[in-house]
Structure 1
C-alpha cells in the first residue's frame, strides 16, 4: 500500500485521495524546472499548473520562486487534496486550486509560465480504475487538446515545462511545433546506468532556438543515487 503522505524538506504532500501518488519522475520535473528558473534568473509573476494531482509541482515551484501559482485539476478528490496540501504549506497565500476542465477554462491575462505532467498514454490498455485511468491515460485530455489549452493560456513570451514518457515525446514535440512551440531545453532521464531513457522533461517557448540537451541518470551501477540526482533533488528530499 502506498504511503498516505510524502514529506519533503519544506512541505508535505498528502496523497490518499489521489490516484497518482508522488513519484520520482515528477519530482525530477519539478526540481529541473525550479533549477531552470534559478539558472536563468527567470521571473514569472503568474504560473499555471495543468493537472495538479496532489499539488506536488506547484509546491516545488512555490519553494523556488516568488510567483503566484494557479493549479487546475479536473478530478474532485485530487482537487480537494491539492487544496489541502496548499493550505498547509508555507506558501498558501500565493497558491490557488481551481477544479475545472482545462479545455474550456479561460483566464485573462494569460500566464507567464506553465508546468504540466499530463496523462501519459494515448493508446495503452486501461486499468479499469476510472480515477487512475483519467490521471494516467489521455481519456479526457489528449496531447493536441493540451497544446491548444497551453496556446490559449500562455503569454506571448511565456514558456512551458512538460513531462512525458521518452517514447511519446517525439510525437508530442511534432504537435507542439505545429502549434507554434519550439523545444528550448530537454532532459532525458534514465532510471539507472543499465536502463535506457524512460522519461523526458522538455521546456518549450514560442521562439525558435537551438535545443539545449542534458541527461540525468537516477541510480549508478551499485544502485545508489548518482551525484547528479542528489544535487538536483537536494533542496527537496529529506534524505539528502
Structure 2
C-alpha cells in the first residue's frame, strides 16, 4: 500500500484525550516493523502494550494480518479501541484489555511487537497512567522472554524498541533464553548525536546471518534523512 491511508495528524487529535504523544522513535519503529513483517509470513500479530494503538494501526496498513493489541491501562485501551473502530482496518484489529502476564494468549502468533517501558530507574510522574506507559511497573524487559515463548509459534519472531544503552544486556539475556538475534538497527537523532535507540528482531530459530544496520533520523541541516523519509512517507502527511 503506497498511499498515505493513516494520518498521524488525526492520531494526534485522538491521543490528546489521553495526554499521550506520538513520538518520532515510536513512529520509526512502527514503520520499520510494518515493512519488515510485510516481507515475511504473518497470519496473526500481538502488539504488547499497545497504548492507544499506534503500532497496530501502522502494521495494519502494510499487512493483512489479524492483530491483537494487549493493553493494561483502561483509558488507553478505550482510546485504542476508538482509534481502531475509526480506521479502515477495524475488522482485523482487536484490543485485549488486561495484564498480558496474567492472560492466556488468544492464539499463538507469528510475530510479537513491543515498545516496552524505558525508564526503569527514572523519577516517576504523579500521573499513574504515565507511570504505566513510561516505567516498567507492570512489564519488565525480563518478563518479555517467557511471554514470547508462550505466545509465539515455533517459528515466531518478536521485535522491540530499546534504549541503546540497554541493548547489549538484553541481547545477552535473550540468547540465554534461546532467542536468536536476527536483525539490529541502531538509531541516532542526527550525525552529531550518539545512538539512542535500537530496533531488535529475535527469532525462536537459529539465524544463519545477523544483519546490523544504522539509521540517522535528521541530517545536520535538520531535514529528515532520506532513509527516514522512505520509511515514514506513507504515514507522515508532509514527507
Whether these two folds match at TM > 0.5 is yes
Aligned to 2:70, the other structure's residue is in SS state: strand
Correspondence for 1:227: 226
| Aligned with residue 113 of structure 1, among 90, 111, 114 | 111
C-alpha contact (below 8 Å) 2:187/2:196 kept by paired residues: yes
Task: Map 1:150-165 onto structure 2 (within 5 A).
Answer: 150-165=148-163
Which residue of structure 2 lines up, in the alignment, with residue 5 of structure 1? none
Contact 1:17 1:77 (8 Å CA) reproduced: no
Q: CA deviation at 1:106?
A: 1.2
Relative to the length of structure 1, the TM-score reads: 0.92
Q: Which structure is higher in helix share? A: 2
Say what the alpha-carbon RMSD is for the aligned residues.
1.4
Equivalent in 89, 97, 100 of residue 98 of structure 2: 100
Gaps of 5+ in 2: none
Aligned partners of 1:113 and 1:232: how far apart in 2?
20
Q: Does 1:58 align with 2:53?
A: no
Mapped pair 1:74 → 2:83: no
| Secondary structure, aligned partner of 2:196 | strand
CA distance in 1, matches of 2:191, 2:106: 45
Distance 1:17 1:172, change over 3 A: farther
Of the structure 1 ranges 94-103 and 8-17, higher mean CA displacement relative to structure 2 is found in 8-17
Match of 1:47 in 2: 45
User: Where does residue 30 of structure 1 map in the other structure?
Assistant: 30
Asked if the contact 1:62/1:69 (under 8 Å) is kept, the reply is yes
Q: Which structure 1 residue ranges, 5 or more long, are not aligned?
A: 1-7
Aligned to 1:10: 6
- Output the CA distance in 1 between the equivalents of 2:107 and 2:59: 20
Q: Structure 1 segments of 4 or more deviating over 3 A?
A: 17-20
Matches within 5 A, 1:77-92: 77-92=75-90
1:33 CA displacement: 0.8
Distance across 1 between alignment mates of 2:18 and 2:181: 31
